[in-house]
Structure 1
Amino acid sequence: MEHKRFGRLATGIVRFSQDGHWDQDVQQLLRFARREAVVAVSNPANSVDHLRLGQVVVDDLLSAGKQVRLLYSPDYLELRDRRPLLRHSSRGAQIRVTDNDFHNALIIDRRVAVLWSGAGADQPYAYLVREPALLRALHQFALLSWQSGHGLSEPAGGRIVLDDTARAVLNTLNLGLIDEAAARRLGVSLRTYRRHIADLMARLEVRSRFQIGVRAAQLGMLDDSSGTHGMSGF
């Protein structure tokens, strides 16, 4: 039997259609989140609403202080603007990319999951899962796929490549310049400069300026001509 609303199922598996109630259904499901959510997206979606919904899901979870893991396939990322993903990373979401074959899924607290099917179809559908044994298997598979993946900013060779702007921002941090002086040095507004710092944190998958310095030093990105004394600027 196919259902349209999440709240009708106590346990088991139910198939439902992604009709006009889809946004409200996912919002209702998110109220169950207590600690963490895993969002796995493999198949590119043709629907703009589907992409917008994904942003709503992640934004709501992060705003509520939940731990969020985002797992993507390379094919999906090829069709995406990565800026929203980098923003999620800067807000604390953990992002990995894997070549493993998997279905689109949302797993919350290992207690409830949604599996998408028919991606790209005119009438896509999904399954709501509250069957404990299947939930354990889904979470274990997601964990194995997560462990086999790599960071969002890492290309196939494993090396992070920064553009000229990111390198310039990194250099100002390494020199220990205050934000206002650094912005003037780069010829940008203070707001733009701080946005570049947030983007750099996302690229390096860190959450503070100090961690930028540590990570950049580990990757050999710091300008030797400026010396290591400037590390105090991070």
Structure 2
Amino acid sequence: MADNEDVELGADTGLGAGNPLDPDLVAVYQVLLEAPLTTEECSDLVGRPLTSELERLAAMRLVRPSLVEPGRWETVAPDAAIAAILAPVQARAHALALHSDAVRKTLGGLETLYQAAYRKQYAQSSTEIVRGGDQVRQRLSDLATRATHEVVAVHPTMAPVEVLRAGLELDRGLLDRGIDYQVVWPHSARRQQDAIDYMRLLRDLGGTVRTAAMLPSRMILLDRSVALIPLPAEEGPGAAIVRDPVVLDFMVRIFEHIWERARPVEEICYDTTVFGEIELAILQDLAGGHTDEAIARRLGISTRTLRRYLTTLFERLGVETRFQLGIAAMRAGLIQEEDEGPGSPCP
């Protein structure tokens, strides 16, 4: 409505842009404040011929032809001019407000029907399968719109910058509505400038961000009543939307376990503590027999970066082979050998 009113008032009165009055108009108005005048008399007192000034003032409802002295112009009180100009605008605003209320009452009555049908649709199954990246993003957007108090998320890898940008509107919308938003990313995000910028932005908007050395899987929980988890890789892009209370309770416990052990993102840095947690995770996975590719994937880093970590560990513990590295790590108390046999990861 505002844009239309600006156009209309701008055409009729010249007031739509909200700019100060033209000084020439103010000068003419001041002269007329002394007494009603003809156009010629007003021109003489202003000291120049008047062209459109009086018509412009009349359009602003600040002057009008005199009611008692025909042929002369007289001033109108600014309050009266304001009331005359705004009366139709306020009437239209009132009409639009009534219309808005009517729309809400008419269409809002369908919400109960929609919710009932929605619950019935998924009553037979507590899990909904959504296939395709676009479809998953759409369902996540729909569910996020219905969130009322809390959204928590775990992301074992940092998404590409274009995906982060696409998700910013959704994240910002949650935080603008006062939703408590908690998210955990891998420590490796602290070394990616795009990731650092996004974490800072999310934190500044009111989100709470932490990082951890290794995260088990991607998950998003909304109001602890629905969750999204990825489908197995062999099934292609997609997600399972889970509503089973028992499964959700288990997932909440997993998130809380991760959250308690993750490091808060305050001053974003890659300090010795973060570095040490990544090294410890590498040693534990090596003891568990994981391949370089699997370890790198679990840490959210490249295999080349993983091998740089290994080189540092070799130098620090004074060894040359992975077998020697495992022995040295156990002797240093970094990992433990389980009763079930050598090579078991520490509990």
Q: What's the TM-score once normalised by structure 2's chain length?
A: 0.39
Q: Deviations over 1:66-100 (max 9, x none)?
A: 10001111245545431121011012111111124
Q: Deviations over 1:124-180 (max 9, x none)?
A: 111100000010111110111011010222534359xxxxxxxxxxxxxxxxxxxxx
Larger radius of gyration: 2
Q: Structure 1: where are the runs of 5+ without partners? A: 1-5, 160-234
1:140 and 2:253 are equivalent in the alignment: yes
User: 1:46/1:83 Cα in 2 relative to 1: closer, same or farther (>3 Å)?
Assistant: closer
Contact in 2 for aligned 1:42/1:102 (Cα 8 Å) = yes
Partner of 1:67: 180
Return the match for 1:93 from 194, 207, 210. Answer: 207
User: 1:57/1:36 Cα in 2 relative to 1: closer, same or farther (>3 Å)?
Assistant: same
Q: Summarize the alignment of residues 43-192 of structure 1 with structure 2, pairs less than 5 Å apart.
A: 43-45=157-159, 48=162, 50-76=163-189, 78-79=191-192, 80-117=194-231, 123-152=236-265, 153-158=268-273
Percentage identity across aligned positions? 18
Return the match for 1:23 from 137, 156, 170. Answer: 137
> 1:30 is aligned with what amino acid?
A
1:34 and 2:131 are equivalent in the alignment: no
Whole-angstrom CA distance in 1 between matches of 2:173 and 2:190:
21
> 1:90 is aligned with what amino acid?
D
Contact in 1 for aligned 2:136/2:239 (Cα 8 Å) = no
Whole-angstrom CA distance in 2 between matches of 1:112 and 1:14:
10
Q: Deviations over 1:91-117 (max 9, x none)?
A: 211111112432111101110000124
> 1:157 is aligned with what amino acid?
T
Q: In the TM superposition, what is the alpha-carbon distance from 1:65 to its structure 2 partner?
A: 0.9
Q: Summarize the alignment of residues 196-211 of structure 1 with structure 2, pairs less than 5 Å apart.
A: none
Give aligned pairs, total.
Answer: 152
Whole-angstrom CA distance in 2 between matches of 1:9 and 1:29:
14
User: 1:52/1:105 Cα in 2 relative to 1: closer, same or farther (>3 Å)?
Assistant: farther
Whole-angstrom CA distance in 2 between matches of 1:122 and 1:77:
31
> 2:171 is aligned with what amino acid?
V
Q: CA RMSD in A?
A: 2.9
Whole-angstrom CA distance in 2 between matches of 1:74 and 1:33:
28
Whole-angstrom CA distance in 1 between matches of 2:199 and 2:248:
26
Whole-angstrom CA distance in 1 between matches of 2:237 and 2:132:
6
User: 1:47/1:128 Cα in 2 relative to 1: closer, same or farther (>3 Å)?
Assistant: farther
User: 1:133/1:92 Cα in 2 relative to 1: closer, same or farther (>3 Å)?
Assistant: same
Q: In the TM superposition, what is the alpha-carbon distance from 1:123 to its structure 2 partner?
A: 4.0
Whole-angstrom CA distance in 2 between matches of 1:137 and 1:73:
22
Using the TM superposition, name which of 141-150 and 69-78 deviates more: 69-78
Q: Structure 2: where are the runs of 5+ without partners? A: 1-117, 275-347
Q: What's the TM-score once normalised by structure 1's chain length?
A: 0.56
The alignment partner of 2:146 has SS state of: coil
Contact in 1 for aligned 2:154/2:215 (Cα 8 Å) = no
> 2:263 is aligned with what amino acid?
H
Contact in 1 for aligned 2:172/2:205 (Cα 8 Å) = no
Q: Deviations over 1:186-229 (max 9, x none)?
A: xxxxxxxxxxxxxxxxxxxxxxxxxxxxxxxxxxxxxxxxxxxx
Contact in 1 for aligned 2:158/2:195 (Cα 8 Å) = no
